[in-house]
Each structure stands twice: as structure tokens, then as C-alpha cells.
Structure 1
């Protein structure tokens, strides 16, 4: 089990458990793992990010590794640039959707994909044994990398029908969430000649607009802006720009599962006999969609690293998480908010239907999730208690209790916060409400013992 790496990178409260000393030593371990430079460094808009960047770059230089700093960029932009521009690896300074007091580091391998769970343990071992490079033959240097955003946007444009999209003159609302996609998504829409309306368009590490995580509860301004401006689509990004939640033309906020289904259908129409990778907590309708196009679905533990690292060896075309993380293998096997927007515009341009019409054609699904505060020491007791109570369960990741394929509940500890997440799917809204109410009560009772 990893001690420092969570579901997605290493995160903590800056200056408390995520100190500059910790960052320095962990960077020495990451640099030793990379073995050589150059390493690309990027960061999100949090107030602590620039100072952490200085520590990261100087730590790398101290063990003889050259690095270049790209400044504020989205995580998928850094990852794509690492792959295309020939870096030995990348370090993204971000805490993704966590609140503003958090920060973190997320290493990317030279293939532009987050490092594997096995390699996370290699880095932790170097860190714990302090077996990093010492006495390098020369000091490393730090430079500036200015090509990342243009490289990233050109990469996305190469996978969509730009000419057709331009001809549609789409109206698009971007809720940038005061996050890193501010530097790329508006330019992307401009390149596609979309009329764009911006919400929370200033980079601000305190995320004053709606917080750093887009949820149906905090996207009312996005919804209203879409309907007021008769927009074709709205999209909200998280703090580091790798996740995206959509709003249809009627102002309805879509779950990550729904947008993933409609995008998967669009992509598989053009690419039948493909492979889709998704997590255990995604809805069962993905198997139905895949089957229509003679394609297969592989399930993994929850977490983008799990999905990404399964996509690479299997050469999967699509990967997704229910939280709005969507991965398009032809571009890069990582979550990418701007690539996902490009695919959605490609879908709307190709189909000629509105997004709400496209959604209405999907098989019905009723999915929800919630979270419950839970001290880490209570997690084992919680999972054990649920195992004792239910005969049919899967403990690959937390516990998934299946009443039948259409009705299930999953409880798993967050890898980034002291909470447990509760997911449920049912065959009707009534059944879903009942299931969720029952299990939230059960989970809270066990935790409070």
C-alpha cells in the first residue's frame, strides 16, 4: 500500500502535512526515479504553487537534472507536452479538485501518462530510504518552456473535424472554475470559431466562484448562462482542467456517466471493435453501448491512474470515470477536459441533433453519489461490517454490493480526503432514492459507533 500517493498523486494541506521540506525530498526521489532530464514542470493557480515550483526545480537541479517550467497550465497539457516534446518525465503541481489550502504533486512518465501504482511504490521506497542521487557530475539547469499550450491545442484539433465544427458557429459556455483551463479552453473555442461565454474566467487559487470541483450542486450559474444565451453546450472544468462536467442546451447538468455514454457512442460508431476501460463505480449501461458496436469493456479500481495504466498495454480507445474524467486513447491516455470538449463539439457537429436530444436517446439510468466524513482508522471496520451483513459483494476497491446487475451500492474510502464515497445505481429513481437513503444511514451508523 502506498503511504504518500493517494488516488491521484500526492496531496496535503500546504505547510501542514505538505511542507516545502517534504516537497524537496520527495522531488529528489521522483528525480532519481526519472534518472535523467529534462523534466517538465507545470502548476495550477493555487497561491502556494509558484513557491513549490521553485523548490521542485532547485531539488531536481541539485541532483543534476535539467528542467523547464511551463507556468500555469492544465494537467493534461503538461502530460501531452511531456510525450510530444520529448521530456523524460513531468511534475504537475496541483491538488486538482481539493480546496484551496491543499496542494500536491503528480508525476507523469515519459509516455505522457501518470506513473503506475508500482512506480509510485518505487518512488516512495527511494524517499523513505533517502536513496536518491548524490554527488552528481554537474548541476542541472532550469529553463522556460513556452510551447506547451500550442502543442496541446494542436494535438486536440488533429482528432476532430475542425472544418465542420467551425461551420456550425456553436455557442459555448465555459465555466472555467478559476482554474488552469483559463489559459487554454477559451483559445481552443476561438480556434473553432465558437461564440464563447465565460464564467469564473479569472485564475484564482482560492476558487471563489464555485470551488475547484464542479458538481451538479454548484453549477447553477453555468446552467443559467446556457439557457439565457441559447447556448448549444456548457462545460465546467475542475481546478487543474482534466475533468469536465457538461450542461446540455436546456440547462440540465449531466452526470459524468451520461456524457461519457454519449461520447462513447459517437466514437464507437466510427471505431467499432474497440476497447473501453472504466471503473467499478460506473453505470452498467456502458456494456450495452459497447455491445452495439462489437466492443468490450474492462473494469478497474476507482482512480484515473488505474484506468490510464490499463489503457496503455491494452491499446484501449476510450477510458472514463463517472466524475467527468474522460480519456481518448488516440490523443493521450489521460483525463483531458479540453479534449473532451473537442469530442463533444465533434459529436454535435456530426449528428446535427441537440445535446438534450442525444441524451434522450440513451438507455435510462439512475445513478447518484454522496460522501460521508470518515476518519481513516474507521475504514476497515466499516468495510468489515458491510461484508458481514451482505453475502454478495466485491472488495476489489472498497466494497460493491450488488443486489442484481441493475441495482448496486459501492462504498469506498477517498484516496485524497478523510471521507468515504457512496455510489449507487438502480432501475428507477424511486429505487435509487431508497437505496441511497438506506446505505447512507447504515454507513453513518457504523462510523459513529
Structure 2
């Protein structure tokens, strides 16, 4: 039974992610390799408390110890997991997905996502008919509220920005995890922040807001010329961030990598003069970085692949176009809030604006379509689709690229086309999408 995708377990709450499944995962981790000190956090979805209660019940019933920091960003959990030597951290979130979905991401004591071998052991246990014997009496584990620890993450993230920059920010918290910390993050800094979408009600997470709905942020900024210097948008669990310039221009994860790579190369701290991205990075990113003497290494899609490449070769920065940015520092996981503060720190050091600093990065026109399917694996093996991909690649003639892949977290097939013109990219993507079934 395959449960884990590119970003943990994710699916409809009480359909895929049932209380029973959550209990079994908790029970397994509560005794696994006799490492049973577990820290838990969750985003603002209504179903989060159901999964949380079930996980805690499983952990305690198997003799483990469970602690919670409540609603918190995923990177806050990873940071605190490492700082306080928890054996595992469990984040209950479906990231940018709608509120009906939820998920479970599991971290090890170093703040890394658990190894695939452990994921496979969990899947094997869930698929089996065998269940662990539950503890009784004094052997039942204990639960501790550790919600006060979130302020230690706040202090950590704030230090990424050394100040000296006065900017008017419009920050979109996506009615998600960022809501719990973002006011504390900007308080006492030189930043003047207007913060919106930080009133979660359990069902409004990512609803027409956040990094998956940048049009709302763009419209607000464009309708108020001169009022905002930069827009900032988080996703549901705040492990990714995207930006919007003062004219409404989108500044995505590729722009962030270019900005950071350019700055760190300039101050001679970019390890091996290399930046890590995924195959989804815009073709123009590699070309722009190359002009600066920076090499771009591309991995498979998923921040865990970026993280692995960075650790193996000691690269300083990496990330995804979608907004996951990873720093090879204390924790090595996507952190939207820390990234925001680092970007602002670079702008302060360079005494410039985001859009101005990345103007040499010219993107190839790109069209990305997400097609919902019943079976993504079957769709990806369709011979007609594969033949059309080859024909379309030949038509591009080396002046662009095509990437068709199954989503790692949803029943979607993603069709991405880059070409010399926007019209060609759009036409090619729509043509290929018509063959996805």
C-alpha cells in the first residue's frame, strides 16, 4: 500500500487519512527503534485536530511520549525537533491543498524528512494484519503541551533579517500556519507590514488567498500604486513563499534563487558557485546564473531531492520554482518565513529592490497546466500521449522544453511547456493536455 508521495501522506481527511490510519502511524512511531519522543504541530484545517488526537492516542498507547506546539509552520516544527532532540516531528498539513485535504509529514531528529526506508516500513505495517500490543497502566505514554516553544522559532527567523531596510509590505498569511507567528516576526523591525488573511476558521485555508492565488495580492498592489514596495504570500503551512513586485509582477522561487545566488556569489560565500533547483526551474534561470559564473544543478521534483543534493555536495542554497527555498544552515528544509527575512536582508545589504536586482534574469515564456485524472500512473503510460510529446518536442526544435509528469501529492498530471513565445508555449501545452486522460 503506497501512502507516501513526494511530500509525505496527503489526501482527503476521513477518506484516505482516517482516524484509524493516524492512530496506526502514531502507534508505529511511538515504539519504532525505541525512539519515542515525538513533537507534533498542525495547520489550521478543521480536520487537523481529528488527526492530531488520533496520532497522540496511537503514540501514547504504544508507550511513546507526545508533545505539541499547536498551530505552527512546518519549518518551526523541524527547527524545534532538532533543537530539543525529539526523535520525530509530525506535521499535520496538506500544504497548499484545499481545506478538505490533510496530510502527515514526518521529520527525524535533525529536522530532515524521514528516509524512504522508514516510509516503506510504515507502509508495510499499515498493509499488514498485525498490530502492536497496546500498553496498559503506567506503561502508557504521556502528553505535554509545548506551545510556548514557538517563540524560539520566531527569534530564530527574525535574526535572518539584520534590519536597516524600511519597506511597506503586504503579507498574505493564507489563513494558515503563518497566522500563528507572522505578527511576531515583523514586530520590532524596520518593516511596515500590512498583514491579511490571518483569520483562519478551519475551512478558509488557501481559499482565494496565499501563494496559490497570487492574483488577489497582485490586484491589491496594482490598485494602490506606490503604497506597497513588496507583496509576500505564504502557503498553508508556510514552508514556501512567493513575492509580488510593486507593479504586480510575480517573483517566484526561481527569482529567489537568482537573487540569493547573485548576492552570495558577490560576497564569496556561495559554496562551489552552485545553486540547486529542480527540473521544473525555468530554462532562463540556468542561463542567467551562468552569466554570473554560477552553475545550476537540477534534481527531480520535490524539495527532499533538492535537500539531498545540497547535503551530499555541501551546496549553500537550493529550491523550487513553487517557492520552497532551502538554506544549508541549522535546518535544511523549506522555510517560507525564514526565506522572506533572508530576501529582505539581501535587499538591505544591496540597497535595492527585488525587481531591480533580478532584472537580468529573463524567463522563457512558460505554460503550466494541471489536469485532474482518475489514475495518474495510467495516464502517464498512455502511448498516444507519449507519442504526442515526442512530436511536440521535435516541433520546438531545441528552442524550449516539455515536461509532463504525475503530481507527487494529488491525482494530477502536470504539463509544463517552455518556448520562445508565450503563444507557442500555451498552444503546445493545451495540445498535450488534450491527450491526458
Q: Same fold (TM over 0.5)?
A: yes
- 3-state SS, counterpart of residue 55 of structure 1: helix
Q: In 2, Cα distance between the equivalents of 1:380 and 1:293?
A: 40
Q: Return 5+ residue gaps in structure 1 as ranges.
A: 394-399
Aligned with 2:435 (options 425, 429, 445): 445
Structure 1 residues 206 and 242 mapped into 2: Cα distance closer, same or farther (>3 Å)? same
Q: In 1, Cα distance between the equivalents of 2:132 and 2:316?
A: 38
Match of 2:142 in 1: 141
Match of 2:212 in 1: 214
Q: In 2, Cα distance between the equivalents of 1:387 and 1:145?
A: 51
1:119-130 → structure 2 map (5 Å cutoff): 119-129=118-128
Q: In 1, Cα distance between the equivalents of 2:325 and 2:187?
A: 22
1:39-50 → structure 2 map (5 Å cutoff): 39-50=38-49
Match of 2:405 in 1: 412
For residues 268-306 of structure 1, what are the alpha-carbon distances to aligned partners after superposition, in whole Å with 9 as ceiling and x for unaligned? 333132442221111233334544565443322111222
Q: Return 5+ residue gaps in structure 2 as ranges.
A: none
- 3-state SS, counterpart of residue 104 of structure 1: strand
Q: In 2, Cα distance between the equivalents of 1:221 and 1:66?
A: 47
Structure 1 residues 378 and 331 mapped into 2: Cα distance closer, same or farther (>3 Å)? closer
1:85 Cα offset (Å): 1.8
1:383 Cα offset (Å): 5.2
Is the contact between residue 179 and residue 238 of structure 1 (CA under 8 Å) also seen in structure 2? yes
Q: In 2, Cα distance between the equivalents of 1:335 and 1:404?
A: 35
For residues 367-402 of structure 1, what are the alpha-carbon distances to aligned partners after superposition, in whole Å with 9 as ceiling and x for unaligned? 331211222166445554343345599xxxxxx999
Is the contact between residue 69 and residue 144 of structure 1 (CA under 8 Å) also seen in structure 2? yes
Match of 1:366 in 2: 365
1:310 Cα offset (Å): 2.8
Asked if 1:436 is matched to 2:423, the reply is no
Match of 1:309 in 2: 308
For residues 172-204 of structure 1, what are the alpha-carbon distances to aligned partners after superposition, in whole Å with 9 as ceiling and x for unaligned? 111111111011222111142311101112123
Q: In 2, Cα distance between the equivalents of 1:309 and 1:191?
A: 36
Q: In 2, Cα distance between the equivalents of 1:118 and 1:408?
A: 34
- 3-state SS, counterpart of residue 331 of structure 2: coil
Structure 1 residues 439 and 364 mapped into 2: Cα distance closer, same or farther (>3 Å)? closer
Is the contact between residue 80 and residue 112 of structure 1 (CA under 8 Å) also seen in structure 2? yes
Q: Which moved more, 1:289-298 or 1:149-158?
A: 289-298
Structure 1 residues 425 and 391 mapped into 2: Cα distance closer, same or farther (>3 Å)? closer
Q: In 2, Cα distance between the equivalents of 1:103 and 1:144?
A: 22
Match of 1:396 in 2: none
Q: In 2, Cα distance between the equivalents of 1:361 and 1:377?
A: 38
Match of 1:199 in 2: 196
Is the contact between residue 43 and residue 71 of structure 2 (CA under 8 Å) also seen in structure 1? yes
1:34 Cα offset (Å): 6.1
1:446 Cα offset (Å): 4.4
Structure 1 residues 108 and 406 mapped into 2: Cα distance closer, same or farther (>3 Å)? farther
For residues 29-83 of structure 1, what are the alpha-carbon distances to aligned partners after superposition, in whole Å with 9 as ceiling and x for unaligned? 3334463231100000011112221111121011111111100001111111111
Q: Which moved more, 1:213-222 or 1:308-317?
A: 213-222
Is the contact between residue 31 and residue 63 of structure 2 (CA under 8 Å) also seen in structure 1? no
Match of 1:113 in 2: 112
Structure 1 residues 324 and 63 mapped into 2: Cα distance closer, same or farther (>3 Å)? same
Q: In 2, Cα distance between the equivalents of 1:241 and 1:159?
A: 16
- 3-state SS, counterpart of residue 14 of structure 2: coil
Q: Which moved more, 1:306-315 or 1:233-242?
A: 306-315
Q: In 2, Cα distance between the equivalents of 1:114 and 1:417?
A: 19
- 3-state SS, counterpart of residue 324 of structure 1: coil
Report the number of matched residues: 432
Is the contact between residue 319 and residue 333 of structure 1 (CA under 8 Å) also seen in structure 2? no
Q: Which moved more, 1:48-57 or 1:296-305?
A: 296-305
- 3-state SS, counterpart of residue 277 of structure 1: strand
- 3-state SS, counterpart of residue 434 of structure 2: helix
Is the contact between residue 218 and residue 244 of structure 2 (CA under 8 Å) also seen in structure 1? no
For residues 378-429 of structure 1, what are the alpha-carbon distances to aligned partners after superposition, in whole Å with 9 as ceiling and x for unaligned? 6445554343345599xxxxxx999466501111111222221111222x3x
Asked if 1:258 is matched to 2:259, the reply is no
